[in-house]
Structure 1
Amino acid sequence: MAGGIWTAQNKRRPGAYINTKGAPQAQPDTTLGRTLLIGSADLGWGPNGVVEVDNTTDFRSVLGTTLDDTRLIPLRETLKGALTVLYLNQNDGEKAKVEDAKLPWNFTAKYAGTVGNTLTVTVEKDPNDETLVTVKTLLGTTMVDEQIIRTTTASGLESNDYVNVTFTGDSTEPVGEVTVSDGGADFSAEAGKAKLDALAASTSYTLTGGTTKASDVTENLNDVLATENYNVVTTAGFAADNNIHSLVVAAVKRLRDEEGYKVRAVVPMMEGASKYDHEAISVVNNGVELVDGSILTATQAAGWFAGASSAADAGTSLTYTVYPDAINAAPKRTNEQTVNALNAGQIVFTTLRNGSVTVEQDINSLVSITDDKPNAFQKNRVIRTLDTIATNTMETFQSQFLGKINNDSTGRSLFKANRVSYLKDLSDSTVIQPVDATDLSVEPGEDRDSIFVTLGVTPIDAMEKLYMTIFVN
């Protein structure tokens, strides 16, 4: 009797040939909770480009400061709602460095920028054992790295999150027998010892020459918007009259309409500006006061709404969601002002009687209602649902059908069955009303390699209004 696995059904001997494979699993939405934040501050440190951060990130090492820094308020607020923030950091220029002939190392700041000039490296000998040396890296007055080495193993000093270390030995050029290895040049065991022996008990060296070069955030904006993996982008932190808001809005519209990339944007309101009037653009009307007494403007508070929007799935509405740590809307809007703002398609923060601050209504800036865009399109939950269906359908077609399945009645039936199953999962999760097979058609397209799909769905919205009549007997 024969057996084993099979690749093709071409076995000669009788037997059981069995393959075991994992069944294809539904792919998770990898963009959920990911917000792209266009950095509005010149930090003078960090990678030049997108920096991926979350609440566990060491912000001092990657951005040169902490979340308590007022320049990072938009980032701090965005992280209150988002799972991950892609922070577009504009930091070009020269790196600070130290090249001192008394040392067996050169030190170069890990990133360009003026923050590098606040880095200091200290070399301290152990008073009880002069062969032991402690090398510390300080950012300002804060120690950010400490390593203990022996004078005979100076080449073992490692780079850290703030400085890159280049071992130079007892001269500015490598000494001893040099060979090629994974780590570069190898030095003799005694290399560097003479310099360290000659040092005083404690010496310090401040890095210099770091510069921050002014750069235009719009130069690489379109590339970042088109290539990064996120679902909401925000310009939180930029002044309301900054042109970057309209640039991002235009890019988002283009990405949705021309590339099928269903991303959304959150921007602050500017008085007197033309309306964006689009279902993928949310406009924040006002700010909030936090428990510590600080007042956040609309452009800063837009960060939180963007983060919360990115983390909300298709079955979630942010209407009446509480703004974390907020005690008042700033400024508070009257009933008339609130109604006017909602009619203009704006996000309004409202102070409730219990002292919490909530999102009045989870809407977008669409105000022009048409047959193609009915009033349901004004709700962000509905747009998230439609975007989810569109994105999943596109990804499923590309990964499982495009170029793999025949465009005949059997192939089209397979695609329809796939979509019916997916839509049933959405209805079971109360994202949409149940879909009947007759609501979905998959027909031949105009070309022999195309299919034409029509689908009717009814997204489920959240309760928002209560009308009640009480009869007294």
Structure 2
Amino acid sequence: MAGGSWTVQNKVRPGVYVNIVTAPKALGTLGERGIVSIPLLLPWGEPKVITTIEAGEDTMPKLGYPITDSALLLVREALKRAQKLLLYRVNAGTKAAVTSGNLTVTAKWGGARGNDLTIVISENVDDEDLYDVRTLLNGDEVDSQTVANIAGLVSNDWVVFSGTGDLAASAGVPLVDGANGSATNQDYLDYLAAIEPQDFNTIALPSTDVTAKGAFVSFAKRLRDDEGKKIQVVLENYPSADYEGVISVKNGVILDDGTTLTAAQTTAWVAGATAGAAVNEALTYAAYDGAVDVATRYTNSQIIAALQAGEFSSPRTTAGLSWSRTLTR
């Protein structure tokens, strides 16, 4: 356990070092905190735009899944501490589609989530000249329309209808060939251009790509040093940045449901927690919400070396999961 007398700021390990001084009073009202931003690869949602997700908001309309679904793992991690997420979907993906008779149905957004959609067409029980067209998501109805022909169909939040002529009854035709695709470094550069005009506190980059990391560090330096926006960027295993605006996360965590997060994925929680912290609040010894262990354990000497290198890491203590944080050297 850390200990010793306080003389000057020469401590490496986090611990209780007491140095009592008079607390200064803020000259003005502190700004709003708790806005985090993340560029993510997702299986649904509008791509290449900033989508705002508030803590506690129903994510189905925007992201196609409830917040509890594994597809939104990093969204959930970021919002454990932050009040608002500025999400940018970096991948456009391939849209799922199907043709039934004269009708073609295409998923509204690209991605694998489109493969969970099915279209059911049946004759209306009250009028034999009309058809009921139902859109199902994993068997649950998300839209229903009664029309005479294809021209009467209106696109909904999940699919786009096209074609001409009459409808033909069908017990259910699933949409197919939806794919998430991938993201390039240019997609991440486009994200940085899109997020720059927004108000935010932190950015997480859940990627191991060295080129992307370098671009995010340069972005943070420009905004902080040239624009006066004291934002922070959270990256995995990038102590070489050696800059106060960059937080380097060394290890991941294991959640109480058995999910293991890599260091890259853990950046989401770290960025959310950093954004949500008050300006006079440190995350040293802050407990990672819902975590029961770290994904990689380090010795005391390894932790000290990591802290001296400016890395954000977690030991496993008897009190639970805690974090050590050093931003600069």
TM-score for both structures, normalised by structure 1? 0.55
- AA at the equivalent of 1:78: A
Alpha-carbon deviations, 1:357-406, whole Å to 9, x = none?
12234x31x10xxxxxxxxxxxxxxxxxxxxxxxxxxxxxxxxxxxxxxx
Q: Is the 2:90–2:188 Cα contact (8 Å) retained in structure 1? A: no
User: What is aligned with 2:88?
Assistant: 88
Match of 1:358 among 309, 322, 328: 322
Q: Do the aligned partners of residues 215 and 343 (structure 1) sit closer, same or farther apart at CA in structure 2, a change above 3 Å counting?
A: closer
- Residue aligning to 1:48: 47
Instruction: Determine the structure 1 residue equivalent to 2:251.
Output: 286
Name 2:31's counterpart in structure 1. 29
Query: Distance between the aligned counterparts of 1:97 and 1:28, measured in 2?
Result: 50
Cα displacement string for residues 252-289 of structure 1 (whole angstroms, at most 9, x for unaligned residues) = 1011112222211111115xxx6222111111122222
More divergent stretch after superposition (67-76 vs 295-304): 67-76
- Of residues 302, 306, 314 in structure 2, which corresponds to 1:341? 306
**Are 1:78 and 2:43 counterparts?**
no
Per the alignment, in what secondary structure is the counterpart of residue 300 of structure 1?
A: helix
**Does structure 1 conserve the Cα–Cα contact (< 8 Å) formed by 2:118 and 2:135?**
yes
Matches within 5 A, 1:49-448: 49=48, 50-65=50-65, 67=67, 70=70, 72-92=72-92, 95-98=95-98, 100-102=100-102, 107-125=105-123, 127=125, 130=128, 133-139=131-137, 141-147=138-144, 149=146, 151=147, 158-165=154-161, 171-172=164-165, 195=166, 199-200=168-169, 202-207=170-175, 210=178, 214-216=182-184, 217-236=187-206, 238-239=207-208, 242-270=210-238, 275-354=240-319, 356-361=320-325, 363-364=326-327, 366-367=328-329
Change (3 A) 1:214 1:346: closer
Counterpart contact for 1:78–1:307, Cα < 8 Å? yes
Shift of 1:98: 4.7
List aligned pairs for 1:1-12, cutoff 5 A.
Answer: none
CA distance in 1, matches of 2:283, 2:199: 22
Whole-angstrom distance in 1 between the partners of 2:296 and 2:183: 34
Structure with the higher helix share, 1 or 2: 1
The 1-side partners of 2:126 and 2:87 are apart by 47
Separation in 2 of the partners of 1:234 and 1:214? 18
SS in 1 for 2:257: coil
Give the aligned residue type for 1:73.
L
Q: Distance in 2 between matches of 1:329 and 1:213?
A: 31
- Structure whose alpha-carbon radius of gyration is higher: 1
8 Å contact from structure 2 (residues 143, 156) kept in 1: no
Q: Distance in 1 between matches of 2:292 and 2:178?
A: 42
Instruction: Give the distance between the partners of 1:129 and 1:339, measured in 2 at CA.
Output: 76
**C-alpha separation in 1, matches of 2:105 and 2:261:** 40
How many residues were matched structurally?
299
Mark the CA change 1:285 to 1:208 in structure 2 (over 3 Å): closer, same or farther.
closer
Tell me, in whole angstroms, the C-alpha distance in 1 between the residues paired with 2:294 and 2:212: 25
Shift of 1:51: 2.6
- Between the aligned partners of 2:141 and 2:224, the Cα distance in structure 1 is 44
Equivalent residues of 1:134, 1:146 under 8 A apart: no
The change in CA–CA distance for 1:287 and 1:209 in structure 2 (over 3 A counts) is closer
Instruction: Point out the more displaced range, 290-299 or 109-118.
Output: 109-118
CA–CA distance in structure 2, aligned partners of residues 64 and 286 of structure 1: 30
Contact 1:320 1:359 in 2 (8 A): yes
CA distance in 2, matches of 1:306, 1:47: 23
SS of corresponding position for 2:210: coil
Equivalent pair of 1:36/1:86 in contact (CA under 8 Å) = yes
RMSD in angstroms over aligned alpha carbons? 3.2
Which segments of 5 or more consecutive residues in structure 2 lack a partner in the other structure? 1-27
Return the alpha-carbon distance in structure 1 between the equivalents of residues 265 and 180 of structure 2.
Answer: 24
Normalising by structure 2, what TM-score?
0.76
The letter of the residue matching 1:82 is A
Tell me the equivalent position of 2:39: 38
C-alpha displacement at 1:70, in angstroms? 4.9
**What displacement does 1:350 show?**
3.0
Q: In structure 2, the residue corresponding to 1:146 is in which secondary structure?
A: strand
1:297 deviation in Å? 2.2
For the residues of structure 2 that align with 1:28 and 1:318, how far apart are their CA atoms? 19
**In structure 1, what residue type is equivalent to 2:193?**
D
Is the alpha carbon distance of 1:360 and 1:27 closer, same or farther for their aligned partners in structure 2, counting shifts above 3 Å?
A: closer
Letter in 2 for 1:357: L
**Aligned partner of residue 254 in structure 1, secondary structure:** helix
Cα gap change, 1:93/1:317 in structure 2, threshold over 3 Å: closer, same or farther? closer
Which residue of structure 1 aligns with residue 18 of structure 2? none
